[in-house]
């Protein structure tokens, strides 16, 4: 069981907007540690798409955005495209584990 | 451009020790700005942090693996390594090495391609 909780799956039609939630606790997200998001395409390593709660690395489309409030965070994807179909993971730091923690991952299906 | 590359046996027998090395190229492992870590992903499952190391040798281990785990760094070779003892089938996974920013244990900005390690007799 993952320290951060994500829905197992979400789906949306091309052009639509979807959100993926990430719920933590007072020892990680609630302790004011940043949340980061990764996209993992099949058979590849995860790729950073949002860092520091709401910042995009160079080259990541502005269709991807992040937010954080309290002990939770969210990833939003607007203008859904077929190429967005992937697994998405949230990540933060946990003071109890003294290390990185991940969500269980959310599979995004583009209908 | 920073690159990380995992290397090591793809098949390990139960009860033996899993050993992997991550070679860092295009940057120095001796930077004070980063932690170097290991993350694994069992087939069809999510990501699990194994442990991390600082260039000075300070280590941070996942408590669930700590009793079996050793992570070390060789700054002269720009490498860091993982040893996981007494492995079982539950340790079968793709193992990634990665670089994370040390400031407030921030983002992981570079990953190796991953290497599948199967535990089987």
Q: What is the pLDDT of residues A67-101, one digit of tens each?
A: 999 999 999 999 999 999 999 999 999 999 999 99
DSSP state of B89: G
pLDDT beyond 80 at B105: no
pLDDT beyond 90 at B102: no
Q: Do the chains contact at A48 and B60, CB–CB below 8 Å? A: no
pLDDT of residue B85: 98
Nearest CA in chain B to A94: B105
Q: Three-state SS for A97?
A: coil
- Per-residue tokens: A69: 């409030």
The separation between the first and the last C-alpha atoms of chain A, rounded to the nearest angstrom, is 28
Cα dihedral sign, A95-A1-A36-B5: positive
Q: What residues in B contact A103, CB-CB < 8 Å?
A: 46
Q: Do the chains contact at A100 and B100, CB–CB below 8 Å? A: yes
Per the listing, tokens 């160079």 go with A58
Whole-angstrom distance, CA of residue A16 vs CA of residue A1: 30
Per the listing, tokens 């709660």 go with A53
Round the average pLDDT of chain A to a whole number and report it.
Answer: 96
Whole-angstrom distance, CA of residue B63 vs CA of residue B71: 14
């Amino acid at each position: 069981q993952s320290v951060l909780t994500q829905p197992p799956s979400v789906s949306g039609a091309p052009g639509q907007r979807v959100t993926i939630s990430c719920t933590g606790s007072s020892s990680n997200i609630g302790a004011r540690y940043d949340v980061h998001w990764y996209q993992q395409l099949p058979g590849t390593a995860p790729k950073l798409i949002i860092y520091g709660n709401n910042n995009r690395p160079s080259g990541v489309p502005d269709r991807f955005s992040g937010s954080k409030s309290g002990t939770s965070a969210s990833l939003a994807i607007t203008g859904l495209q077929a190429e967005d179909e992937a697994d998405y993971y949230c990540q933060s730091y946990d003071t109890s584990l003294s290390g990185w923690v991940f969500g269980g991952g959310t599979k995004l299906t583009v209908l | 451009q920073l690159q990380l590359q995992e290397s090591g046996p793809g098949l390990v027998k139960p009860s033996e020790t899993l050993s992997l090395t991550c070679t860092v190229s295009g940057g120095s492992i001796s930077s004070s700005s980063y932690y170097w870590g290991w993350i694994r992903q069992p087939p069809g499952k999510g990501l699990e942090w194994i442990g991390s190391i600082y260039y000075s040798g300070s280590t941070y281990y996942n408590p669930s693996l700590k009793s079996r785990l050793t992570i070390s760094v060789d700054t002269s070779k720009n490498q860091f390594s993982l040893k996981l003892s007494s492995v079982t089938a539950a340790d079968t996974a793709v193992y990634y090495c990665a670089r994370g920013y040390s400031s407030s244990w921030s983002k992981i900005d570079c990953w190796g391609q991953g290497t599948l390690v199967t535990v089987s007799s």
